[in-house]
Amino acid sequence: MVTDNFDSFASSLIEQIPFDVSKLELDHFGYQTSSAQDYEDLKEQSLTLGQLISENIVSGRRVAIFRFSNPYKYESYRILGFELVEPKERQICESELDHLEFVIPVSFDEFLKIHNNAKWDLYAKDRDEFPKITLQLNNGKSVKFHTKDIFEEIPD
């Protein structure tokens, strides 16, 4: 299940962030699947956790967004949902928790100015759909920051 080992996963990522995120909203997390079949199986299992809100092709692979029936509680956070991500064609990867995503209360430029001691990946900062800034962490995982929660970002 996509929430297995979530607490230890989230703790391991948050402890690598070079600034305090305790006041930010942790609105969702990402789970990377290992194959198209794994994606299908986990998509079916995930329907026991909540509602499938959206499924689109993003960067050449399927991404399903689920809203928990009851927010997932981790420490002081109430997580609203999660992404299930299919591998890209020819991508070899494990089926595992992949990233956390936080909502920031200011613009990207303001946030970057405040946290200029972090090593940011800005590849998606100015894109039209799902803009975000990313911290790549030591374990190959990432933490992403955006200005709207994922359910506000989903096109109608």
Q: Indicate whether 76 pLDDT > 90.
A: yes
Q: pLDDT per residue over 108-152, tens digit each?
A: 999 999 999 899 999 999 988 789 999 989 878 899 999 998 888
Phi-psi group of 87: left, alpha or beta (phi > 0 → left; psi -120 to 50 → alpha; rest → beta): beta
Query: What are the domain boundaries of the chain?
Result: 6-151
Fold of 6-151: 2,3-Dihydroxybiphenyl 1,2-Dioxygenase; domain 1 (3.10.180)
Hey, how many other C-beta atoms are within 10 angstroms of the C-beta on 83?
20
Q: pLDDT per residue over 41-66, tens digit each?
A: 999 999 999 999 999 888 788 999 99
Whole-model pTM?
0.91
